[in-house]
A and B are shown apart, each in its own frame.
Chain A
Amino acid sequence: MSRVLKKRLRAVGLWLLTFLLLVVICVPGLWVVLSAFRPNREILAKPPIWIPEELTLGNFAKIFGFGQEQVAIPVLSYFWNSLVIATTSTLIALIIGMAGGYAFARFRFRFKNAWFLGLMLFRTVPGIALSLPVFMLWSRLGIIDTQLGLIIVYVSLNVPFTIWLIDGFFRQIPMSLSEAAQVDGCTRWQAFWKIEFPLARSGIAAAGVFAFLTSWNEFALASQLTRSTDSKTLPVGLMDFTSQFTIDWAGMSAMAVIIIVPALILTFLVQKHLIAGLTFGGVKG
């Protein structure tokens, strides 16, 4: 066999492998998206219908309460809960993360390493392991089935991560930049907002996206701590499509798409800020 042929075969093999891997990763997602636009009978058809014969927005109309066929699921409430809880908890986690990250990166204080290690260890505990104590505590406090209850849980879930990530970004910014700004006439506060914050912005944005996605997608704890439309989030709401004897796959898929889309949009919006490397060049490498 000639070398050229060998090389070609190798390339084809690699392509095939890549294709298979991508199929494994993408098909379930694709299937969910496709199912969102197909009627239930086509989804459940045997043998399966791979190429949709009929595309419809009926599933969306159905879960939002339009059209003939209606499902009694308050998707709008769930959406609103998810939005409020994810956004608020992300903002709080970011503010604490910035303050904490800056402190860990810039200041010397007692037990600094122990604090930091403690935060990281806290992150290693699976959230679900804490669900029972949290449930009991929350019920005593009377914040079961409230947005506040979930916000607190998500903030504490995200803060170690945001501190850790933002700390790393502040650490990369040389102290001398802030010092130069202070000699140039800034207060420490001004030096932070005008110099250090813009330079750490990509890191803060990244921390924000991750925190938002964690809160937005979280299911296990939310399913424990929510009951009604007061606080139920979208991932928990998905379970509403499961009843004792049937599962409404079409409605569930439509709702899954509703969950996926905002997360995708956010990631696309922020991704240009995620490109780091802005700090290069200000100081000698």
Chain B
Amino acid sequence: MAGIMLEGVVKRYGKTEVVHGIDLEIAHNEFVVLVGPSGCGKSTTLRMIAGLEDISDGDIRIGDRVVNDLPPRKRNVSMVFQNYALYPHMDVRANLGFGLKIAGQSKDVVERRVQEAAEILGLSELLDRIPAELSGGQRQRVAMGRAIVRHPEAFLFDEPLSNLDAKLRVQMRTEIKKLHNTVRTTVVYVTHDQVEAMTLADRIVVMRDGYIEQVGRPMDVFNHPVNTFVASFIGSPPMNLLPARIEGARVVFEDGASVPVPERLTNFVADGQEVIFGIRPDDLSPIGHGIHEARETTEIDLEVELAELLGTETLIYTTLAGQEIQGKMFDPRDIRPGERLTFRLSLDKAHVFDAGTGQSVRPH
């Protein structure tokens, strides 16, 4: 059993603190994704787990051992680097077997485990090549193979797909998911791509500026973001966020237009409160083109400024209260800029955040 536990982990470089005492518990065999914009401390956190960065304060446990002062080699984790970090002067076989050889395993064991890993990842044909002779996707697979041969207690992935082109990225994403199903092990995965986070994670950890903003299952984070940052970071295209003010039972935007306060939130807002009203593009659609199962909806007239055809849906750019927002039209028909449409807005899925703190008015 090897979960990973972070307790009050702090990282300082000189006087600058970059990770501010984060707590996180990762269960055995869980796939956890750390996601956030660049500079949020996610890679630093991962490197602290690997032992490549010292921790300035707090504790890190892997399994039941406190590993704060253990060098990387004694932590029994393996890591896939953003640039793959394959040993250029060794062929694929030697790359895969390097860790086992260092650990003093016999030749037979090394060979067997290398074959095993090569088979899982479809590398059997490539064992005699050197990294320079491999394509990007193949190198990526070798890097993963090097991680799995040692049967570590945890895999650490540091933005492993960011160097691949879009198509390969999607393919490798599925392979990583499959790999996790095959070799069930604890995984900590760092990415700035929220799609990767959503698709891969058992649980997502959203980070910003060295703090954890929210931890939760992908759908929970998506449906119940705790603040405007998470709301705008998770989901693509991002949630529309509009400054507004509560007046009685209505949310009034800056230009005087208004929508009702969602019923489920009425108890959490006060008259006169400055708020930010959030609605995802998926929950703002022209009547008859989406939002079928909403309990509570409202309607609003908007002018189409730009329409992006995506095939099964069309992304509509429009303006509400002087701010550009996006809506989605499902089962699209042809629409032209300048056209006025009546949109239905699903209040079930609407969010209200306090304007001052940015936190969701409804605690989770």
Contact = CB atoms under 8 A, between A and B. Distances in A.
Interface string B53-90: 00000000000000000011101011101111111110
Interface residues of A, number: 24
Contact of B78 (A184, A195, A279, A284): A184
B218 interface: no
B133 A195 contact: no
Interface in A176-214: 176-177, 179-187, 190, 194-195, 198-199
Contacts of A179: 50, 52, 72, 79, 81, 85
Given A179-B52, A282-B131, A185 B99 contact: yes
B307 to A, nearest CB: 37
A182 B50 CA distance: 10
Nearest to A187: B73
B103 interface: yes
Nearest to B132: A281
A215 to B, nearest CB: 30
Which among B51, B88, B133, B156 has the highest number of chain A CB atoms within 10 Å? B88
Contacts of A183: 50-52, 72-73, 75, 77-79, 156
A113 B199 CA distance: 46
B73 A283 contact: no
Contact of B85 (A180, A185, A190): A180
A156 to B, nearest CB: 33
B98 interface: yes
A28 to B, nearest CB: 42
Given A182-B52, A184-B78, A281-B132, A198 B84 contact: no
B191 to A, nearest CB: 16
B146 interface: yes
Contacts of B342: none
Nearest to A180: B85
Given A199-B89, A281-B134, A184 B84 contact: no
A82 B102 CA distance: 42
Contacts of A67: none
Contacts of B86: 281-283
Given A183-B77, A184-B98, A282 B50 contact: no
B332 interface: no
A199 B87 CA distance: 9
B12 to A, nearest CB: 15
B136 interface: yes
A279 B84 CA distance: 13
Given A183-B50, A187-B71, A283 B78 contact: no
A198 B73 contact: no
A52 interface: no
B323 to A, nearest CB: 39
A61 B81 CA distance: 64
A198 B71 contact: no
B174 interface: no
A198 B139 CA distance: 20
B163 interface: yes
Given A199-B88, A283-B83, A182 B132 contact: no
A183 B154 CA distance: 12
B20 to A, nearest CB: 23
B102 A284 contact: no
B11 interface: no
A283 B84 contact: yes
Interface in B218-236: none
A204 B175 CA distance: 41
B130 interface: yes
Interface residues of B, number: 34
A174 interface: yes
Given A184-B78, A185-B103, A281 B88 contact: yes
B344 interface: no
B332 to A, nearest CB: 39
Nearest to A190: B102
A284 B138 CA distance: 12
Contacts of A283: 81, 83-86, 88
B89 A182 contact: no
Given A190-B102, A280-B132, A281-B132, A181 B87 contact: yes
A282 B99 CA distance: 16
A278 interface: yes
B150 interface: yes
Contacts of A284: 82-84, 136, 139, 163
Contact of B83 (A176, A185, A190, A199): A176
A284 B140 CA distance: 10
A203 to B, nearest CB: 14
B89 A180 contact: no
A181 B130 contact: no
B87 A282 contact: yes
B327 to A, nearest CB: 39
A179 B75 CA distance: 13
Contacts of B102: 184-186, 190, 194
Interface in B133-152: 133-134, 136, 139, 146, 150
25 contacts: A174-B83, A176-B82, A179-B52, A179-B72, A179-B81, A180-B79, A180-B85, A182-B52, A183-B51, A183-B52, A183-B72, A183-B73, A183-B78, A183-B79, A183-B156, A184-B98, A185-B73, A185-B99, A190-B102, A281-B86, A281-B132, A281-B134, A282-B87, A282-B88, A283-B84
Interface of B: 50-52, 71-73, 75, 77-79, 81-89, 98-99, 102-103, 130-134, 136, 139, 146, 150, 156, 163
Shortest beta-carbon contacts, A-B, top 4: A281-B132, A282-B88, A184-B99, A283-B83
